[in-house]
Amino acid sequence: MNKKTIAFILLVLLFTILLGTGLYMVIEGWNFLDSLYMTVIIVTTIGFGEVHPLTEPGKIFTIIYSIVGFMLLAGFISIISSTLVEKFIIDRRGGRKMVNNINKVKNHIIVCGSGKFGRHVIKMLHSQKKAFVVLDQGDPMDALIQQSQTPNSSFKDILYQEGDPTREEILISAGLEKAYGIISCMPEDSQNLFIGVTAKKNNPKIKWTTSIVDENNSSKFYTVGADDVIRGDFVIGNRLVNSMVNQNLFGFLEQTNPIDGSIGLIVGAVEIGPNSPLIHVAIKDTTINKSLGLLIFALKKGSQEGYQLNPKPETILAEKDVIISVGDTAQIESLELFVNPKKGFWK
């Protein structure tokens, strides 16, 4: 029920009371207070008794007014109660559905915080169609929708849970033990540190990326197991310098990570799975460039730590090798299917 409907019902009820008061003043000649009192006890069915003895016209009016007033009040109460019950049922069903969906997800990413950094993380993961769950003390979607000026329908499929991400039970309820990674972007370093330690304790294999406020805390995060630590001031400073000394490079960076928050080119990293048709195939024979219009500009061999930039065309691919390429979202999705095809995709 919207506000206009509620306002209309209240106006009707108020009009009914004022009408009854006025008619008692006219029919019985009572003063305003006595007439209002009689009207209220009739409408509310309290029935304390008559203020003054009624005349015959007054008795006839009271009979009619009692029936009409009772019907209006009963209808008002029925509408309000049904609306509250309906809202309660919808909220319970929606909450239960969200919990069920979160319980089903696995190999996902948990995003802790939907503030200044978190909302950009959510938008990027959502645009790349990655499985993720958002944790925040408030409704994460409220801030995201308002700050990005994006229609609510665009984010209706996002899984989120209201709660303090620093609480262990909240992290576990987001599927921590089944998650692939966790991104902590809370406003305080102590919060991010606690989240990471809790995540690593419950899931030692989880990948933990975090933002920090004080760069002096970087070593502390790496010490307790952070896989990557991002400093906002470093990223901003790097952009400012590149825009000044190397405009061409900055133009490329702008495409891969636009400042305005839009989705441009993305860097895709795809690991070759055990059933990939690219195993034991040379890069030059993969037809990735011909079929998808993408170039492999870096390669990480499964047994090596670093990346090979511009790998040789003769390089033989193997399971657990990681292919790095740059393209739009659709191209990177096609690359993932090309490298690790779903059933019936590869021909």
What is the token pair recorded at 295? 């170039």
- Report the alpha-carbon distance of residue 292 to residue 189 in Å, rounded: 42
For residues 116-142, one letter each, b for 16 or more C-beta atoms within 10 angstroms of the residue's C-beta and e for the rest, the string is: ebbbbbbbbbbeeeeebbbbbeeebbe
What is the token pair recorded at 108? 């996902």
| β-strand partners of 267 | 326
DSSP state of 188: S
- Report the alpha-carbon distance of residue 172 to residue 176 in Å, rounded: 5
Which of 72-81, 166-175, 287-296: highest mean pLDDT? 166-175
Give the angle subtended at the CA of 162 by the CAs of 157 and 168, to the nearest 5°.
115
pLDDT tens digits, 233-283? 666 666 666 556 555 555 555 555 554 445 556 777 888 888 889 999 998
Q: Same CATH fold, 265-339 and 105-245?
A: no
What is the token pair recorded at 199? 């995540």
Q: What long-range pairs does 290-296 form, CB within 8 A, spacing at least 24? A: 291/338, 292/327, 292/331, 292/334, 292/335, 292/338, 293/327, 293/331, 294/325, 294/326, 294/327, 294/331, 294/335, 295/325, 295/326, 296/323, 296/324, 296/325
In 3D, which of 104, 126, 110 has the Cα closest to residue 185?
110
The owner of tokens 């511009």 is: 310
Which fold is adopted by the domain 265-339? Alpha-Beta Plaits (3.30.70)
Strand ranges inside 117-253, DSSP E: 132-136, 159-162, 181-184, 207-212, 228-231
Q: Which CATH class is domain 3-101?
A: mainly alpha
pLDDT tens digits, 113-143? 888 788 888 888 887 788 899 998 876 555 5
DSSP state of 54: P
Mean pLDDT of 68-81: 78
pLDDT tens digits, 77-117? 777 777 676 666 555 555 677 778 888 888 999 999 888 78
Q: Picking from 168-177, 246-255, 324-333, which range would have the lowest pLDDT averaged per residue?
A: 246-255
pLDDT tier for residue 149 given thresholds of 50, 70 and 90:
very low
Is 144 in contact with 73 (CB distance < 8 Å)?
A: no
Q: What is the pTM of this model?
A: 0.54
The phi-psi region of residue 131 (left if phi > 0; otherwise alpha if psi is between -120 and 50; otherwise beta) is beta
- Report the alpha-carbon distance of residue 116 to residue 292 in Å, rounded: 35
**Domain boundaries 105-245, corresponding CATH code:** 3.40.50.720
Q: Is the pLDDT of residue 17 over 90?
A: no
pLDDT tens digits, 206-247? 999 998 888 888 888 989 999 988 886 666 666 666 556 555
**194: which residues sit within 8 A by CB, 6+ positions away?**
166
246: amino acid identity, one letter: N
What is the token pair recorded at 49? 């008794």
Strand ranges inside the chain, DSSP E: 109-112, 132-136, 159-162, 181-184, 207-212, 228-231, 266-271, 298-300, 308-309, 322-327
Question: Domain extents for the chain?
Answer: 3-101, 105-245, 265-339
Give the model's pLDDT for residue 233. Answer: 67
What is the token pair recorded at 129? 């169609």
